[in-house]
Structure 1
Amino acid sequence: MKTLLMDTMRKSDATQVLAIFQEGIDTKNATFETKVPTWEEWDRDHISSCRLVAREGDRVVGWAALTPASSRAAYAGVAEVSIYLRIESVGQGLGSRLLEALIKTSEENGFWTLTSGIFPENKNSMALHEKLGFRKMGTQERIGKLDGVWRDVVQMERRSEVVGV
């Protein structure tokens, strides 16, 4: 087994990052998205200072990134978490390491609140977020359709204990 490294995402990681995103789409429990965006679209939507990958050698086995919660200035320190792992990497502690690193990076970049919208069926993701200090804010019932089926989303939030206190 190769050493696992938490690292800054690079443009050269794009193909692997999007392939992992496709695996998440295929589960039908990670996102409402039904197709992988282009790298240019993905790059435009995610905060450049808060993008991480987990590497085993040259292989990306997971990634985590933030998207702005709002374009309004008052919410400049609020962002939404995305975290995706290769299917074969689930259950090995990688998610905890990646999310811990993303929380640290977010705080270094001035973010005071992280949010996450999770399908209630994705119990592993909810447990991971709770383990790292996120709390359930509530459930948005039938908030969107995926493949013609209404889905609920559990909203979770983590308030920094170092930024904005």
Structure 2
Amino acid sequence: MRFTHRHAVEADLPRIVDIYNAAVATRTCSCDLEPITVEARRPSFLKHTPHHRPLWVAEDADEPALGVVGYLGFLHFMNERPGYFMTADLAIYLHPARQRCGLGSYLLTQAAKAAPSLGIEVLTATIFASNTGSLRLFEEQGFERWGFMPRVARLEGSERDLVLVGRRLYG
């Protein structure tokens, strides 16, 4: 499969929400307990800009009719405190039909290439410890385990551990 990515536009928001809600339903990679709506997601969507903290959507170049099949967002690390602006927290979500086919690797590779032009030197992500597929994906892309937070989330009565992964791009 060949993938492409571009900056998300507001018309992509319903598909972004659909992909995210599919992840919410799995209880494996989000702490949201209920599906979100387009209107609820709009304020955070509007915070992304192409030159600061972009939000990308990915498409399958071999099947363009599918439309958006995943997305990656560069988020602020630690509540938008300026001293942390060199670090971005990544959010990556893939349509279930495009998981385990190279899309995640593609998006993370592109994020690492683009980060310096965005003033980003460090990439991080937090992943449930039980989400071995995502942990493996990030480790294959050069991320290391930088932290472990035991039992910090509860989903339907089940406590979850969280792993912080990170990658310093240079320096």
**1:55 Cα deviation after fit:** 1.2
**1:103 Cα deviation after fit:** 2.0
Percent of counterpart pairs with the same letter?
A: 26
In structure 2, list runs of 5 or more residues that go unmatched. Answer: none
- Report the counterpart of residue 42 of structure 1 in structure 2: 44
Residue of 115, 118, 135 corresponding to 1:126: 135
**1:27 Cα deviation after fit:** 1.1
**1:148 Cα deviation after fit:** 2.7
- Report the counterpart of residue 68 of structure 1 in structure 2: 76
In structure 1, C-alpha distance between the alignment counterparts of 2:26 and 2:57, rounded to whole Å: 20
- Report the counterpart of residue 57 of structure 2 in structure 1: 53
User: What is the Cα-based RMSD across aligned positions, in Å?
Assistant: 1.7
In structure 2, C-alpha distance between the alignment counterparts of 1:105 and 1:8, rounded to whole Å: 12
Residue of 132, 135, 149 corresponding to 2:144: 135
In structure 1, C-alpha distance between the alignment counterparts of 2:21 and 2:107, rounded to whole Å: 19
- 1:5-24 equivalence runs, <5 A: 5-24=4-23
Contact 1:51–1:102 at 8 Å: present in 2 too?
A: no
For residues 20-42 of structure 1, what are the alpha-carbon distances to aligned partners after superposition, in whole Å with 9 as ceiling and x for unaligned? Answer: 00111111111111232523233
SS of the aligned residue for 1:64 comes to strand
In structure 1, C-alpha distance between the alignment counterparts of 2:146 and 2:13, rounded to whole Å: 32
In structure 2, C-alpha distance between the alignment counterparts of 1:47 and 1:147, rounded to whole Å: 31
Single out whichever of 90-99 and 65-74 deviates more from structure 2: 65-74
**1:66 Cα deviation after fit:** 1.6
TM-score, normalised relative to structure 2: 0.86
- Report the counterpart of residue 160 of structure 1 in structure 2: 169
**1:86 Cα deviation after fit:** 0.5
**1:93 Cα deviation after fit:** 0.5
Contact 1:64–1:81 at 8 Å: present in 2 too?
A: yes
Q: How many residues align?
A: 160
Contact 2:130–2:161 at 8 Å: present in 1 too?
A: no
In structure 1, list runs of 5 or more residues that go unmatched. Answer: none
TM-score, normalised relative to structure 1: 0.89
